[in-house]
């Protein structure tokens, strides 16, 4: 029997390598309220919770959300178990917004793919034309 798996921790440079961001970025996210690492002396110690938050944050960024938006969701989520009804409704509102956003993005992706297909088609035609001229 293995004992309760030791709650792993991470240094800032470890996290920074895991996600390919700089330590500066990680500290900046903390300053913006997205991470809340422990301290040992003045040194930051990150737990899995922080790692997950960082992952979510970066994913949110790739999807075009601002750090402020991401923070609002995280804050409301953290206050969730004992949140008041107003906060909870606000969170549901936010979630609906994000969903709508995702849906539009999916549509945008679909359209963009079509355009890429079109461009690629023309591009390959042009290449073929070049080849024929060279050979003919």
Partner DNA sequence: CCGCGAGTTGACGTTAACGTAAATCGCCGA
Partner DNA sequence: TCGGCGATTTACGTTAACGTCAACTCGCGG
Tell the residue number behind the tokens 């088609």, with chain if given.
121
Candidates 59-67, 73-81, 85-93, 96-104; binding stretch for DNA (CB under 7 A): 59-67
Task: Map residues 65-84 to x or -, x wherever contact with DNA holds by CB under 7 A.
Answer: -xxx----------------
Rounded Cα distance, 125 and 92, in Å:
50
Q: Are 63 and 105 in contact (CB under 8 A)?
A: yes
Q: What is the three-class DSSP state of 43?
A: strand
Secondary structure E strands in 18-77? 38-40, 43-47
Task: Kindly state the number of chain residues that form the binding site for a copy of itself, as judged by CB under 8 A.
Answer: 39
Rounded (to 5) percent helix, strand, coil in the chain? 70, 5, 25
Task: Map residues 42-81 to x or -, x wherever contact with a copy of itself holds by CB under 8 A.
Answer: --------------x--xx-xxx--------x---x--xx
Binding site for a copy of itself (CB under 8 A): 56, 59-60, 62-64, 73, 77, 80-81, 83-85, 88-89, 91-92, 95, 98-99, 102, 104-106, 108-109, 111-113, 115-116, 119-120, 122-124, 126-127, 130
């Amino acid at each position: 029997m293995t004992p309760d798996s030791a709650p792993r921790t991470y240094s800032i440079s470890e996290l920074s390598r895991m996600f390919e961001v700089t330590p500066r970025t990680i500290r900046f996210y903390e300053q913006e309220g997205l991470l809340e690492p422990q301290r040992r002396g003045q040194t930051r110690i990150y737990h899995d919770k922080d790692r997950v938050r960082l992952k979510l944050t970066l994913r949110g960024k790739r999807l075009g959300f601002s750090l402020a938006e991401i923070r609002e969701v995280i804050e409301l989520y953290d206050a969730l178990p004992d949140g008041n009804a107003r906060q909870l409704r606000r969170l549901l509102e936010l979630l609906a917004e994000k969903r709508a956003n995702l849906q539009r993005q999916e549509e945008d992706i679909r359209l963009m793919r079509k355009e890429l297909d079109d461009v690629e088609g023309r591009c390959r035609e042009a290449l073929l034309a070049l080849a024929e001229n060279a050979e003919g």
